[in-house]
Amino acid sequence: MLKKLAIFSFVLFLFSAPQQVFAQSNVLILNIEKLFADSKAGKSMISQVQKKQEAIKSQRDKAQKELSDKVQKLDSQKTMMAPDALQGKADELKLEEIAKNQELQQELRKIDAGLAAARAEILKSLSPILKDIMTEKSAIAILERSAVLIGSPDVDITDIATKRLDGVLSSVKVEAPAK
């Protein structure tokens, strides 16, 4: 009974509220991932990250090849080595592999930190642009596209924001911040 009363009260409120309140509640939508993919600065950021990742992949492949060659060489020498010496060499190779993997993981973490810093720089430049668009459109909020279930295409400001961002910021550096 109480639930029905609450629902009835809410419906009554909706119909009694002035339509102007709803008309002024303009909410805009921004697809931030599309903005990163389409803007000049975003494309610059993505390109740099891809190049850095490819370089690390190349380093990893080279290290794996070198390690594989060393394992084959050790395998061919195992009949001529004492078991303790063979185990010592195998342990050295394992430690070498672990060290190289740690080095590559550190490089990947640097890329991630650089990516985060570049995204932050883009967002810093984007903030005043979004505030201007909100003022122009008399909006009260901007929601990320992924948070919106259904929205009218005319409230999506992604393309406008991308164009304005391109006029302010054409590239960013993907570098890990100094500690």
Residue 53 domain flag: yes
Give the three-state DSSP class for 17.
Answer: coil
Q: Does any domain span residue 9? A: no
Strand partners, 31: none
> The domain containing residue 43 runs over which residues?
19-168
Q: Is residue 8 part of a domain?
A: no
Note whether residue 41 is domain-resident. Answer: yes
For position 168, what pLDDT does the model report?
A: 97
- Which tokens go with 158? 């992604």
**Structural domain includes residue 10:** no
pTM, entire model: 0.74
Q: What pLDDT, in 10s, does the model give residues 156-169? A: 999 999 999 999 99
pLDDT of residue 12: 42
Of 160, 155, 167, 107, which Cα lies nearest the Cα of 132? 160
* Residues 104-153 pLDDT 10s: 999 999 999 999 999 999 999 999 999 999 999 999 999 999 999 888 88
| Number of domains the chain is built from | 1
Write the CA distances from 171 to 36, 89, 116, integer angstroms: 11, 48, 15
